[in-house]
């Protein structure tokens, strides 16, 4: 069976720095795949390439059987690939509900919309409210997103990506800079969503989070895949220990700069 | 976390909406009756100018205010509209009232000009965008100076309108009022629409908006073209009113600055801000020009006024004052509410309600 999402032999250089070289990563339908590696190993660059924020130098990206190499972000999203950013990116001067509705507008099949219709029909608002309740920030629906705390912003970003019912969600450090009880909360939410069919690809430095949640873990180092497999095998792989986990004690809580 | 009592919150919002609606109606009635009370042609001329700028600033705001792309090239559309009707009336030898049938043409030509202009300029952002719009503006002014069909430095003169000088201004006044009301109505519709939400999302974080499926180029260009359409229409109207267009008056850098200042003064990205800004600034400017026959003095006074606003009300009159009022109300209701914690949270949230 073909993977839901596949980056095949992708290479990308920024000036003289080879961020990714010949990197192949697969995400199976229904899985939670973890992507780990030291800072600067190319994790976020891979996210950017999959979601159209960067162009590849070589290689291809597939969503199922469809080649989506270099598709722009709006196209990647329309194809069911949602993502969050390492440093949360919300719309600060829109209300929390309006943040949700930006994404809600692009749900479902393409059809003609009256552009001047009020933003957010009943169905969209109901779905948005459900997701805000699900993530636990429904009480802030009418507040400007600017007023949310860092953790709440992470939850909002997760919620508005989900509003369009993406097939696969790419999370860039969902537990980074978040307090332990909120990490539990986020982890539980991801598990629940996965149980109802959403596939995840997660970049994260928090090893308990990754090992507890993921069915499969891929390790990047210097832009290439070092190892890939179930968490219990990855945990003991000498190459991984050498490249990354060996230094986990110091690195664990530090998000990428 | 608990929000404010939903019944009270909804009630407050409804009351605020009723106040806004009532205020708009009273203002509209006052503006509509204005030329019947003040018949002096000098006064009604200021009225026409003011209404043209109400509409122009509202149109500018639909694009620049909502999307955050500050255009200093909207005079391109104003001038294109003016020249379009001027050249058409001249070449097709139209005279009398029939020339007003050309106004839609002014709007369409400006909108057509906006397409290639937008396709080029909207590829860049922020300061670069501002610079590109200024550059395009000067290209148009230079073309008006140098082409023969634009009349070069002598420009184009309007066909003579055989109207009674005593009431000459009135038709212009009401036409400008109609365009102004239409534009503000359109601005209000767009602000609450999915299109408007997409524009405001672009203003906040364009790349993030793309990642949530917003086809940003299309959305920005649509707003640019709509804005140009209205501005071109106003250019055409202004041409008949002034009865002549010159390269430096049709493509006037001061027009670009004025619409931007008006919107900044009233509140960028709000529906009522540009209206308020134009109603205050244009009569003030005209009044000062007449009081101090020295034009520079009035410019200095206006400039100081603007600096004062930037210092005291950096986000414009409407957003800052509405923020102050909501937080004052929330504090008051917070004191009334027994639960201090819930009230404080509500105040924090309500104080940052998005201004309209």
Contact B193 A83 (CB under 8 A): no
> Using 50, 70 and 90 to split pLDDT, how confident is the model at B317?
confident
Residue B248 is assigned to a structural domain of this protein: yes
- pLDDT for the residue numbered B12: 67
Mean residue pLDDT across chain B: 84
Half-sphere exposure of B157 (CA within 13 A, CB side): 4
Of B207, B212, B352, the CB nearest to A144: B352
- A94 to chain B, any CB pair closer than 8 A? The answer is yes
- pLDDT for the residue numbered B344: 42
How many residue pairs from chains A and B have C-beta atoms closer than 8 A? 117
- pLDDT for the residue numbered A246: 66
Rounded to an integer, the average pLDDT of B177-197 is: 93
> The whole model's pTM is what?
0.85
- pLDDT for the residue numbered A151: 86
Residue B333 is assigned to a structural domain of this protein: no
Residue B280 is assigned to a structural domain of this protein: no
Q: Are strands A168-172 and B156-157 parallel, antiparallel or unpaired?
A: unpaired
- pLDDT for the residue numbered B119: 94
Sign of the dihedral through C-alpha B33, B276, B67, A114: negative
- pLDDT for the residue numbered B20: 81
Would you say residue B252 has pLDDT above 60? yes
Q: Are strands A5-14 and A58-63 parallel, antiparallel or unpaired?
A: antiparallel
- pLDDT for the residue numbered B114: 95
Residue B310 is assigned to a structural domain of this protein: no
pLDDT digits (tens, 9 = 90+) for B102-127: 899 999 999 999 999 999 999 998 88
Q: Which residue has the higher pLDDT, A197 or B15?
A: A197
A-chain CB neighbours of B209 within 8 Å are 91, 102
Contact B353 A142 (CB under 8 A): yes
Residue B323 is assigned to a structural domain of this protein: no
- B190 to chain A, any CB pair closer than 8 A? The answer is yes
What is the distance between the alpha carbons of residues B67 and B70, in angstroms, rounded to a whole number?
A: 8
> Using 50, 70 and 90 to split pLDDT, how confident is the model at B97?
confident
pLDDT digits (tens, 9 = 90+) for A235-256: 888 888 877 766 544 444 444 4
Residue A216's beta-bridge partner residues? Answer: A33
**CB burial of residue B24 (10 Å; 0-12, 13-18, 19+):** middle
Residue B183 is assigned to a structural domain of this protein: yes
Would you say residue B253 has pLDDT above 90? no
Contact A74 B190 (CB under 8 A): no
Rounded to an integer, the average pLDDT of B166-189 is: 91
Residue B308 is assigned to a structural domain of this protein: no
- pLDDT for the residue numbered B295: 65
- B192 to chain A, any CB pair closer than 8 A? The answer is yes
- pLDDT for the residue numbered A256: 46
Number of structural domains (chain B) is 1
Contact B200 A142 (CB under 8 A): no
- B211 to chain A, any CB pair closer than 8 A? The answer is yes
- A129 to chain B, any CB pair closer than 8 A? The answer is no
B-chain CB neighbours of A141 within 8 Å are 3
Q: Which residue has the higher pLDDT, B7 or A242?
A: A242
ipTM: 0.85
Of B3, B189, B207, the CB nearest to A116: B189
Residue B321 is assigned to a structural domain of this protein: no
Contact B207 A73 (CB under 8 A): yes
A64: alpha, beta or left, given left = phi > 0 and alpha = psi -120 to 50? left
- CB A211: neighbour CB atoms within 10 A? 17
Residue of B nearest to A116 (CA): B193
C-alpha distance from residue A161 to each of A48, A88, A152, B24 (Å): 16, 12, 14, 38
Domain that holds residue B94: 38-255
- Rounded to the nearest angstrom, the minimum Cα separation between A128 and chain B is 14
- A222 to chain B, any CB pair closer than 8 A? The answer is no
Q: With contact defined as beta carbons under 8 Å apart, do A251 and A205 qualify?
A: yes
């Amino acid at each position: 069976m073909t993977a839901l999402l596949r980056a095949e032999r992708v290479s990308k250089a920024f000036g003289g720095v080879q961020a990714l070289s010949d990197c192949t990563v697969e995400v199976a339908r229904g899985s939670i795949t973890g992507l780990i590696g030291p800072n600067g190993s190319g994790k976020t660059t891979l996210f950017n390439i999959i979601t159209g924020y960067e162009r590849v130098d070589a290689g291809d990206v597939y969503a199922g059987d469809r080649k989506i190499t270099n598709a722009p972000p709006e196209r990647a999203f329309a194809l069911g690939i949602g993502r969050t950013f390492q440093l949360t990116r919300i719309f600060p001067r829109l209300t929390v509900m309006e943040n949700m509705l930006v994404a809600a507008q692009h749900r479902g099949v393409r059809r003609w919309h009256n552009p001047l219709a009020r933003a957010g029909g009943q169905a969209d608002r109901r779905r948005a409210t459900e997701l805000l309740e699900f993530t636990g920030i429904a009480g802030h629906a009418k507040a400007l997103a600017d007023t949310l705390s860092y953790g709440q912003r992470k939850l909002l970003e997760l919620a508005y990506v989900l509003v369009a019912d993406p097939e696969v969600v790419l999370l860039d450090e969902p537990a980074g800079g978040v307090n332990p009880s909120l990490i539990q909360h986020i982890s539980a939410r991801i598990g629940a969503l996965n149980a109802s069919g959403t596939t995840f690809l997660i970049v994260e430095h928090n090893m308990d989070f990754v090992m507890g949640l993921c069915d499969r873990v891929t390790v990047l180092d210097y832009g290439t895949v070092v190892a890939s497999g179930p968490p219990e095998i990855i945990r003991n792989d000498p190459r991984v220990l050498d490249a990354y986990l060996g230094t986990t004690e110091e690195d664990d809580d530090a998000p990428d700069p | 976390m608990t929000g404010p009592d939903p019944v009270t919150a909804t009630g407050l919002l409804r009351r605020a909406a009723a106040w806004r609606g009532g205020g708009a109606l009273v203002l509209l009635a006052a503006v509509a009756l204005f030329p019947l009370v003040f018949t002096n042609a000098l006064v009604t001329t200021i009225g026409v100018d003011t209404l043209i700028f109400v509409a122009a600033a509202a149109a500018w705001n639909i694009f620049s205010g909502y999307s955050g792309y500050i255009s200093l090239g909207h005079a391109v559309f104003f001038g294109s509209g003016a020249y379009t009707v001027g050249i058409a009336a001249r070449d097709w030898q139209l005279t009398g009232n029939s020339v007003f049938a050309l106004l839609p043409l002014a709007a369409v030509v400006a909108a057509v000009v906006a397409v290639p202009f937008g396709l080029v300029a909207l590829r860049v952002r922020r300061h670069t965008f501002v610079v590109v719009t200024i550059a395009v503006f000067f290209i148009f002014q230079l073309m008006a100076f140098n082409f023969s069909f634009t009349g070069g430095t002598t420009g184009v003169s309007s066909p003579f309108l055989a109207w009674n000088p005593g009431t000459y201004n009135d038709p212009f006044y009401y036409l400008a009022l109609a365009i102004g009301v239409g534009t503000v109505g359109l601005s209000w519709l767009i602000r609450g629409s999915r299109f408007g939400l997409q524009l405001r999302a672009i203003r906040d974080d364009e790349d993030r908006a793309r990642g949530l499926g917003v086809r940003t180029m299309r959305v920005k260009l649509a707003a640019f073209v709509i804005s140009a359409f209205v501005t071109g229409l106003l250019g055409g109207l202004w041409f008949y009113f002034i009865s002549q267009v010159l390269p430096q008056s049709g493509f006037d850098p001061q027009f670009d600055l004025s619409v931007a200042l008006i919107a900044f003064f009233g509140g960028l990205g709000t529906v009522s801000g540009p209206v308020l800004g134009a109603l205050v600034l244009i009569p003030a400017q005209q009044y000062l020009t007449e009081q101090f026959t020295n034009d520079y003095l009035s410019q200095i006074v206006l400039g100081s006024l603007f600096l004062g606003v930037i210092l005291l009300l950096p986000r414009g009159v409407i957003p800052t004052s509405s923020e102050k009022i909501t937080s004052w109300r929330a504090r008051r209701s917070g004191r009334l509410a027994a639960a201090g914690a819930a009230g404080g949270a509500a105040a924090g949230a309500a104080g940052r309600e998005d201004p309209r």
